[in-house]
Structures are given as structure tokens and as C-alpha cells.
A = this chain, B = another copy of it.
Amino acid sequence: MCSEFDIIRQYFTRPVTKAVLGVGDDAALISTTAEKELVIAVDTLVSGHHFFADTDPRQLGYKALAVNLSDMAAMGANPCWATLALTLPRNLIQKSEAWLDEFSAGFFELADTYQIELIGGDTTCGPLNISVQVIGEVEKGKALLRNGARPGDDIWISGHLGDAALALAHEQQQINLNPDELIQCLSALHAPIARIELGRRLINLAHSAIDISDGLMADLEHIVESSSVSATININEISCSSILRKYLSHPVAISCLLAGGDDYELCFTASVRNQKEIEELSLKLAIPLTRIGKITQGKGLTVLNSNGTAITLETRGYDHFRT
């Protein structure tokens, strides 16, 4: 059976003439005025796949928007409006509207932070399914894309990777975190911080960008393929929390770091000339920005361990349909 990306490529990717950018990046681009482009992204969260059925609704409302804002960040866009297509099981609200109250509270808590207006949607009955679409704005021609990486670029990531996946691994009993560790990792899983301000500041600084949602390797591979380059990253350079570092020798930890996904950090490439400016940006925004490798000519993505040998993983990131 084909993968999620094969499905998109084969059945839902068509060239565009009216839009500036269609299917294939973190968001689409539509030209509206002489100065701006609209940035349009949509993400779906499905119960049992993206979240456990008993997830706190407030966290769910927050995250349903947060994952989209991460796409906005990856484009360097300022988010402005959202629509919400919410499918709810009848039994969820039959006895009490508390679930709805909490869900909408979580959603608007994040929306209000960025002055995002909820302008439309649809409310239907069925298995729990949440599709949020966000519309943002970016200066014309300046959106960060996946296809701009150039040989010689540094590869950077923001924040720390792996904690969200570690929480999931704990819930799936693949690893045993202590209570404090679990609290921190669950916070990463449920309340990712979308790097909106960072994305905006990377315009004119980065050559390409993507948000790490499926997993570092899977997502960096999108940049590599779109830009027709190759990339080498060093596992030792990848910033992670002290928790994940503690478990690094555990079989599941490397997988969480490289392919766990749900990080919602940015991975971007930039000219070596911009290293200093990016380091200053890191201080200014108080966000760790870490160089983890280089873009080179060629094809493919290589991850080196401390011995300088290549690491191979069974999966490089989440794909809904790949067997």
C-alpha cells in the first residue's frame, strides 16, 4: 500500500496557474495584493491516531490550532484567520457540554494569543475528527519554502526534539519515565509552541524551512527532495532535553529524537554567512537554535552517529498509510 505522500502526489497534486504555490509545501500561497500573499494550511487531527480518545478537550482545542500555526511558522507567515471543521460523536456531548466548553476554551486561548479570528467552519456528527485551516499573510515573494536549500547551507533546528514522542512512547509502555519527566514530556506533546515569531524573523535569513511534525528525518527529507540537494546531520548536534539525553542509550530514544515527530519545531537551512545573525536571533527570542549539519550537492539524507557512521532507522517519521 502506498504511503500518505504517494497518495497526495498521485491523486491530489496538480499544477497551479492562479495560485502562487499549490500542494507540496507546508502551506499554499495565493497572491492578493501587490505587497502580500495569503498563506493557507490545513491539518486534521483524528482520534486514535493523533491523540488518545480520552485526551483532555482543552489541550485538544489548543493543539488543533497549534499544529496549523506551526505550518504558518514554517512559511514565515503571520496567522490571521481560521476555520474549524469539527466532527463530534453524539455521546461526547449528550449528557453535558463540558467537552465543548473546554475544547473551545483551549482553541481560543491560543487563537487570542495571536489575534486569530475564527471565521467559519462546520459542525457535524460522527467519529471525532478535527480539521483546522489557517489563513495567514506573508510579504509577497518572501515565504519560506522547502525548495530553497543550497549546497553549503547550514542545517538548523529550533528548540529540543524528541520529548513529545517520548511521552507517547511512555503511554505505549515502550519506556518508563518518572512522574516529573512525564509531566514535562506530556507538556511538549499537548502544548507545542508554534515558532511564529522565529519563522517571521527567518525571512531573508533562511533559504528553506519546514516544521518538524512527522519527524526530523522525514521532514528534512522533504527539504532535501524539494531542493534537489543532499544533507548530512550529526546526531550528537541535535539538541534535546536533559530527559531525552538521560535515556539516549534506550532503544526507543534515538527513534524519538530522529523520527518521533510531534515536535513542531522548525528545521531550516541558511548560508554560513548568516550564522552569527541566527545566533543573535536565538538570544533575542530566547529560543535554542542549533546547527546540526550541512547541505551538499547530491541526493539523500545521512545521519551520522558519534563514530561518523551512518544510522539507519526502520521509519524516518510518521506516515499515515505506509505499512
Which A residues have a C-beta under 8 Å from some C-beta of B?
1-2, 4, 7-8, 10-12, 14, 16-19, 21-23, 27-28, 30, 32-33, 38, 40-44, 46-50, 80-81, 83-88, 90, 93-94, 97, 100-101, 103-104, 108, 115, 117-127, 129, 131, 133, 135, 320-321
Contact = CB atoms under 8 A, between A and B. Distances in A.
Nearest to A21: B119
Contacts of A23: 118-121
A40 B119 contact: yes
Contact of A117 (B17, B50, B124): B17
13 contacts: A14-B108, A18-B117, A19-B81, A22-B117, A28-B120, A30-B119, A33-B33, A42-B121, A42-B133, A93-B321, A122-B131, A126-B129, A127-B129
A323 to B, nearest CB: 8
Contact of A12 (B42, B118, B125, B126): B118
A1 B94 contact: yes
A143 B121 CA distance: 18
B38 A32 contact: yes
A105 to B, nearest CB: 9
A44 B119 contact: no
Contact of A18 (B32, B80, B97, B124): B80
B84 A12 contact: yes
A100 B210 CA distance: 27
A129 B4 contact: no
Nearest to A19: B119
B12 A104 contact: yes
A312 to B, nearest CB: 25
6 closest A-B pairs by CB: A28-B119, A46-B126, A32-B32, A125-B320, A11-B104, A127-B127
B135 A44 contact: no
A127 B202 CA distance: 38
Contacts of A108: 14
Nearest to A121: B42
A232 to B, nearest CB: 30
A65 B39 CA distance: 21
Contact of A19 (B86, B117, B121): B117
Contact of A83 (B32, B40, B90, B115): B40
Given A30-B119, A32-B38, A85-B131, A321 B125 contact: yes
A90 B16 contact: no
Given A42-B83, A83-B28, A14 B117 contact: yes
A160 B173 CA distance: 58
Most buried by B among A42, A127, A135: A42
A279 to B, nearest CB: 34
Given A38-B32, A46-B125, A119 B16 contact: yes
A112 B81 CA distance: 27
A124 B14 CA distance: 19
A123 B30 contact: no
A132 to B, nearest CB: 9
